[in-house]
Amino acid sequence: MVRSGSKVPAHFEGLYNIYTAERLIFTRLASKFFSATARHNPHPPASLARDRPVRSRCPKCAIYAYVCSMMTIDILSVLPELMESPFSHSILKRARDKGLLEIRVHPLRQWAVNEYGQVDDYQYGGGAGMVMMPEPLAAAIESLSKDRSYDEIIYLTPDGRRLEQRIANGLSLKGNLLLICGHYKGIDQRIRDRYVTMELSIGDYVLSGGELAAAVLVDAIGRLIPGVLNDETSALFDSFQDNLLAPPVYTRPAEWRGMTVPGILLSGDPRKIEDWRHEQSLQRTRERRPDLLEGE
Ligand code: ADE
């Protein structure tokens, strides 16, 4: 991210013009700086992790850019076991192995109000379903906040704002996030009022708890952290970046059971291929998600 108010230098301008969304500029700039850092130091030291984002000076000009060194995500859950697998494979595993993402899952019951591990209670006013008590959550949030200050404390809930790519883009620029997974009827409203800074839903349906929603959120954010994807440009062409769905993709063989790959993809002409992909993206978006094109 180029410091606000500063002019984008000429050697950044091409990128700036091509990728007008803030996130995309950032990704390209960050990858440029970060790859230099990463080459020297594949496992950033703890100080880098703590001081994220690191202010880094472009060697070619005097402009400072903010480079993500590491993101930490703390998760509060009554079912921590549920969260082991989603973060232990593929891209998120790579992000953790590279030291770019630290995920800590905290069993909420360690802050339970009694020796039975109680963290929920009946709701005032009657009605079915338990509510997660304020005290264990407050104790957990306050205890974790001693270690690090959170950019956002996010409660996963079906009545939250719907998660979109734009939100994931924004969150991937943050340093420290705390996610709260609800259960039963949800968490006591006073915790939402006092501590929570963002409420997110992953869709208009109700899950049995916030854990799977938190896993979805972490995945969506984690893959965007600069340095996580090998080919950083691949995130730029994901569905929903630029409000377009991704075009169709093909791999070998060129002919499979009588079905052929569109000739243009075999042409070797990058310009034509790019135009074709853009046209396909537009067509797909018009057919499947015209709402994404509204207001363009
Ligand atoms: N918890 C239960 N359902 C949820 C949803 N759809 N999104 C986020 N958190 C949830």
Best residue among 78, 184, 206 to mutate for probing ligand 1, ranked by most atoms within 8 Å of CB = 206
In three-state secondary structure terms, 57 is strand
Q: Determine which residue's CA is closest to atom 4 belonging to ligand 1.
A: 158
Kindly state if the Cβ of 213 falls inside 6 Å of ligand 1.
yes
Helix (H) / strand (E) element for 189: namely: helix 189-194
Whether the predicted pLDDT of 50 surpasses 50 = no
Whether the predicted pLDDT of 59 surpasses 90 = no
Instruction: Work out the average pLDDT over 136-143.
Output: 98
Q: Determine which residue's CA is closest to atom 2 belonging to ligand 1.
A: 207
Identify any residues that bridge with 155 across adjacent strands, giving them in sequence order. 180, 199
Q: Determine which residue's CA is closest to atom 7 belonging to ligand 1.
A: 201
201 CA to centre of ligand 1 in angstroms: 5
Identify any residues that bridge with 55 across adjacent strands, giving them in sequence order. 66
Rounded to whole angstroms, how far apart are CA atoms 176 and 144?
A: 11
Rounded to whole angstroms, how far apart are CA atoms 207 and 18?
A: 39
- pLDDT at residue 121 in the model: 96
Kindly state if the Cβ of 203 falls inside 6 Å of ligand 1.
yes
> pLDDT band at 278, cuts 50/70/90?
very high
Kindly state if the Cβ of 30 falls inside 6 Å of ligand 1.
no
In CATH, the architecture of 244-293 is: Orthogonal Bundle (1.10)
Of 175 and 141, the structure prediction assigns the larger pLDDT to: 141
Domain positions in the chain: 10-67, 71-222, 244-293
131 CA to centre of ligand 1 in angstroms: 15
User: What digits encode the pLDDT tens for the residues 223-271?
Assistant: 887 667 765 456 656 777 678 899 999 999 999 999 999 999 999 999 9
182 CA to centre of ligand 1 in angstroms: 8
> pLDDT band at 169, cuts 50/70/90?
confident
- pLDDT at residue 231 in the model: 56
Kindly give the number of the ligand 1 atom that is closest to the alpha carbon of 203.
Answer: 6
208 CA to centre of ligand 1 in angstroms: 8
- pLDDT at residue 119 in the model: 97
Kindly state if the Cβ of 156 falls inside 6 Å of ligand 1.
yes
User: What digits encode the pLDDT tens for the residues 192-226?
Assistant: 999 999 999 999 999 999 999 999 999 999 988 76
155 CA to centre of ligand 1 in angstroms: 9
User: What digits encode the pLDDT tens for the residues 81-109?
Assistant: 999 999 999 999 988 988 889 999 999 99
Q: Determine which residue's CA is closest to atom 6 belonging to ligand 1.
A: 158
**Both ends of the chain: CA-CA distance in Å?**
24
- pLDDT at residue 154 in the model: 98
The chain-wide mean pLDDT, for the chain, equals 79
CATH number assigned to the domain covering 71-222: 3.40.1280.10
180 CA to centre of ligand 1 in angstroms: 11
User: What digits encode the pLDDT tens for the residues 18-46?
Assistant: 222 333 334 434 444 434 333 333 333 33
Rounded to whole angstroms, how far apart are CA atoms 250 and 263?
A: 11
Of 6 and 218, the structure prediction assigns the larger pLDDT to: 218
Percent of the chain with pLDDT over 90: 58
